[in-house]
Each structure stands twice: as C-alpha cells, then as structure tokens.
Amino acid sequence: MEKDADTRPPGAADDWTIPQGWDRYSAADHATWDRLFDRQAQMLQGRVVPQFLAGLDILRMDRPGIPDFAALNGRLMAATGWQVVAVPGLVPDRIFFDHLAHRRFPAGRFIRTPEQEDYLQEPDIFHDVFGHVPLLANPVFADYMQAYGRGGLRADGLGAIAKLARLYWYTVEFGLIATDEGLRLYGAGIVSSNAESRFALEDPSPHRLGFDLRRIMRTRYRIDDFQQSYFVIDSFEDLLAQTTQTDFAPLYADLAALPDYDTDSILPGDRVLMCGTQAYARHKEKE
Ligand code: HBI
Ligand code: FE
C-alpha cells in the first residue's frame, strides 16, 4: 500500500495535509458523490451495522453533494472529538498512524471519475468519507481507531507494521460483525463497494471466520480482488477490549518466527461461521 507514498507533494504541509478546497469541486464531482451515495444507501439497508447508519444521521451525511469538511468536522468533533483532514492520497505509514493517534482521519480529497465508479486503487473521498467517517461518530469505534494509530507508531519501532496492517485490513477495511439480526458489514472497503457489499455477506465463496487477533496478524490479504476470508467480530466493545488489552510487543516477537497463512486457509483453531466454497477465487484463477 505504499505506492508513491513517500514524496510529499508541493503544497502539502509537514503532516501531508492540504486544504480540501471544497469550492473547487465541479457539478459533475458532486453528481458522482450523489450517485454513489444513493446506490450504497440502498445497498446497505439491512446489510450494514446499525451504528453506521446512526453515524450517517448524526453527521447529516445524507445531504446532497460532497461533504464540506468544515461542516462535517463540527458535527464529528461534537460526537467523538475526531476530525477529517484532507490529504493528496496515500500517505507514509508513520504520518498516517500519527494522524489516527491524534483523532484525525486523513481523507483523499479527489473523487473518482464515472469510469472508475466500480474500482479504483487509491482511496478517494467516497471511500474515505462515506466508508470510514460514519463509524468515527461511534465512541467505541472512534477509540479503536485511535488505539490503532498509537499501536501503529509502536509497531513501526518494532519493525512490525506489516503484521499490524493486517489487523486494520481485516477489521477497519473488510470487517464483518455479528448482531442479533445476523451478520452485518462494517469495514469501509466493503461498505464503499457496491459489489463487495453483496459478496461479503451473501456469496457462498468466501470463508467467514471468528475474529482472532493472532491468527489475523499471520494472514495474508488480497488488494486486487474480493477477500477470500472475512473475520467476524462480536461487537465493537469486544474488538476494542481485545486489542487494547493485548501486549503486542511479545506477540510480534513470536510471530516473526512463524509462517504466514494463505488468504483461503481454514485452520484447526478457527471458529468457522461459514466455510466458503472459494468458487469465485478459483474461477478467477482459471481466466
Ligand atoms: N494513507 N491516505 C491514506 N489512507 C490509508 O488508508 C493509508 C495511508 N497510508 C498507509 C496506510 N493506509 C496503511 O499502509 C497502514 O494502515 C499500514
Ligand atoms: Fe480505507
């Protein structure tokens, strides 16, 4: 995830932030946001965790047009003390972690073009703001994100960013959560993707496995296609408790000597909620 992320573009501050420049979005940019928003708002009914919809509501994100960070931040700050700051795209790991550790979420300010509506590699404002920001209005999830940032700064000192990044990937980006009504989505990579919103929850192909911190940190992930395994947390409280009560330093030392797991493995200790057929990934391989 470090493509071109190491040279600070001219105009960016030391912490890589730039002005959002909200006045510079075109009518077409706003229309793209609205189209994506409406499509996902429909798709997510009955699929996303209720706290996400509550966040959209608290932050009044259902208003038309690309959100103006100044207005958004007034509401977000009041809810949980978080802020959104604009960045040019991917930023270096340490910069990224430092923002999170200070309750600032770095968001891309550009929006995808209509041709890119279904897939793009760099996080744009729709992924970052629609995908990530609603749950930052939830106090427990907000604390988890800050704890992750702090953990990232420590992991950097221990040479363990790659291991910790898997935790982010399988929770913040591609996490599922068990609720009384059944499995629900909460990962930003899923909720900002129309196709993966359905795939992650309903397709028979991927595995759905119970959250296991140590196991996740040994598990590779895919950046090029739908995940082959999703990990399911019991609650945000449990996620926060498990990660803040773990001493990561000895864990990293342990893991450094152990092999990684493949994206489609099922292991003896796994809590298997659904064993996937992996038909989707196998079909793709043959193409
Ligand atoms: N930068 N803007 C941005 N967004 C991210 O999600 C991001 C990043 N830089 C680094 C990064 N993610 C990951 O490599 C870390 O979670 C490890
Ligand atoms: Fe993201």
Per-residue model confidence (pLDDT) at position 211: 98
Average of per-residue pLDDT across 3-16: 81
Cβ of 93 less than 6 Å from ligand 1 = yes
Residue 14 covered by a domain: no
Which run of H or E residues covers position 194?
Answer: helix 194-202
Q: Is residue 9 part of a domain?
A: no
Residue 169 Cα: closest atom of ligand 1: 16
- Our answer on whether the CB atom of 85 is closer than 6 Å to any ligand 1 atom is no
Q: Is residue 104 part of a domain?
A: yes
Task: Supply the ipTM of this predicted assembly.
Answer: 0.96
Q: What is the pLDDT of residue 5?
A: 55
7 has a pLDDT exceeding 90: no
CA of 189 to the centre of ligand 2 (A): 6
Domain total in the chain: 1
Q: Do the domain assignments include residue 12?
A: no
- Tell me if 126 CB under 6 Å of ligand 1: no
- Ligand 1 atom 17: residue of nearest CA: 165
CATH code for position 59: 1.10.800.10
Q: Residue 189 sits in which domain range?
A: 22-286
* Position in ligand 1 atom list of the atom nearest CA 1: 14
Chain segment 146-205, per-residue pLDDT in tens: 999 999 999 999 999 999 999 999 999 999 999 999 999 999 999 999 999 999 999 999
User: Is 1 within the bounds of a domain?
Assistant: no
Whose CA is closest to 35, among 116, 156, 153?
Answer: 116
Whether residue 197 lies inside any domain: the answer is yes
Q: Residue 242 C-alpha to ligand 1 middle, in angstroms?
A: 22
